[in-house]
Amino acid sequence: MLHGYKVKAQSDAGSKPRYLSAPLIKSIYTADPSAHVFNGKIYIYPSHDIDAGIPENDNGDHFAMRDYHILSMNKIDGPVTDHGIALDIKNIPWAGRQLWAPDAAYKNGIYYLYFPVKDKHDVFRIGVAMSKNPAGPFKAEPHPIPGSFSIDPAVFTDTDGSTYMYFGGIWGGQLQRWATGKYDANGSKTDLMHDDEPALSCKVVKLKNNMLEFNGKVRDVIIVDSLGKPLKTNDHNRRFFEGSWMHKYHGKYYFTYSTGDTHFLAYAIGNNPWGPFVYKGIFMKPVQGWTTHHSIIEFKGKWYIFYHDTELSGKTHLRNVKVTTLQHNADGSIKLIDPFI
Ligand code: FUB
């Protein structure tokens, strides 16, 4: 059976789910929250979901977002500010359609917003926009980042000041169409025909100091099992699908991601930002809705996960962002989170 974007993960809490957390904002639909602490405050860079009237399909065409709104909060559980439109698709010269999950970074007085959007040939690329204010407005560069492709940029600055971008997503995110290094417009919609081969990998690349270009080769983020063997395509409970994130904890690098059609958030640990990363388990059970996408931050000595579900709408493409605590156990594992209580 082909599992497409139209298939929903079910809550195991029955017909009246009790959610672990409440939506952070109800006035607009938001998803894919990339959170960062800038100037002692939490800024959230989410997708802005809208109902564009496009029927659901396996390409994710119904995720037809057109702009970004940035949210901020002074404290967890405090009021959330919506800073209005930070970037509109009409002001991205090369963009075609579908502004998907963004991320942000800061360097030398400038904030950078990284965003995936389909170009005018319907190929996902990653763009960058700049602002002096973490909440925008952002001005987009006239071209996508050279050499970029697919979706879901997650930007991580290590303690030595080096910045890396993790990116990629299979199925609607088109990663499988880049398997040869060049885009195959007639390529498959999924990875399902390569069951016994090593799974497609998320990508990682260092950014140049200007934060606008890749510095060197794009590499595969290899996830291995406890025996050191790369995960395979048919390992749907564990293989990478989309929505990656990186955080460092006690000197170890935690690569976290969504398993897509099995709806888990999983983690793998490595000794450096490039990997390989050893698969360790899942740390969040499926939320209500098909997609699952997260970010992890440390704020005032505590760790938090930002995620989304479909509590407000009950519709796959109209999501709402949430936050809850994340706990590292004494042995370095992450405590499993159930998004229902
Ligand atoms: O929001 C559109 C896409 O859905 C994101 O890019 C994926 O991570 C998934 O959440």
Q: What is the pLDDT of residues 142-156, one digit of tens each?
A: 999 999 999 999 999
- Which residue's CA lies nearest to atom 5 of ligand 1? 101
Q: What was the pLDDT predicted at 14?
A: 53
Report angle CA 102, 105, 109 to the nearest 5 degrees.
135
b/e code 80-108 from CB counts within 10 Å (16+ = b): bebbebbbebeebeebebbbbbbbbbbee
Q: How does 188-211 read in b/e, with b if 16+ C-beta sit within 10 Å?
A: ebbbbebeeebbbbbbbbbbeeeb
Q: Which two tokens stand for residue 283?
A: 């740390």
In terms of CATH, what superfamily is 29-325?
Glycosyl hydrolase domain; family 43 (2.115.10.20)
From the CA of 258, how far away is ligand 1's center (Å)? 10
- Look at residue 273 and give its three-state secondary structure: coil
Residue 133: Cβ within 10 Å count = 12
Determine the Cα–Cα distance for residues 23 and 197; give it in Å rounded to an integer.
39
Q: For ligand 1, what atom is nearest to the CA of residue 49?
A: 1
- Give the whole-angstrom CA distance, residue 177 versus residue 294: 24
Non-local CB neighbours of 155 within 8 Å, separated by 6+ positions: 103, 104, 105, 112, 114, 163, 164, 165, 166, 207
| Residues 308 and 44: beta-carbon distance below 8 Å | no
- Residue of the nearest CA to atom 8 in ligand 1? 243
Give first-to-last CA distance, the chain, whole Å. Answer: 31
CB atoms within 10 A of CB 320: 23
Strands 277-284 and 223-224: parallel
Closest CA to 112 of 98, 127, 128, 126: 128
Is 151 near ligand 1, meaning CB less than 6 Å away?
A: yes
Residues in the chain: 341
Beta bridge partners of 112: 105, 130
CA atoms within 13 A on the CB side of 328: 19
Centre of ligand 1 from the C-alpha of residue 273, in Å: 23
293 lines ligand 1 (CB under 6 A): yes
Note if 32 is an active site residue: yes
- Residues in the chain with pLDDT < 50? 1-13
What is the whole-number distance in angstroms between the Cα of residue 50 and the centre of ligand 1? 13
> What's the distance, CA 174 to chain centroid?
15
pLDDT (tens digit, 9 = 90+) per residue, 19-53?
Answer: 999 999 999 999 999 999 999 999 999 999 999 99
Q: Where are the domains of the chain?
A: 29-325
Question: In angstroms, what is the span from residue 281 Cα to ligand 1's centroid?
Answer: 22
Q: 136 CB under 6 A from ligand 1?
A: no
CA–CA dist 118, 255 (Å, integer): 26
Query: What is the pLDDT, as a whole number, of residue 191?
Result: 78
pLDDT of residue 188: 87
CA distances from 134 to 34, 102, 238, 252, 333 (A): 13, 13, 34, 28, 32
Told to judge if 213 belongs to the known catalytic residues of this protein, a careful annotator would answer no
How many CA atoms lie within 13 Å of 131's alpha carbon, on the beta-carbon side?
Answer: 15
DSSP 8-20: -BPPTT-SS--BS
pTM value?
A: 0.96
- pLDDT at site 149: 98
214: left (phi over 0), alpha (psi -120 to 50) or beta: beta
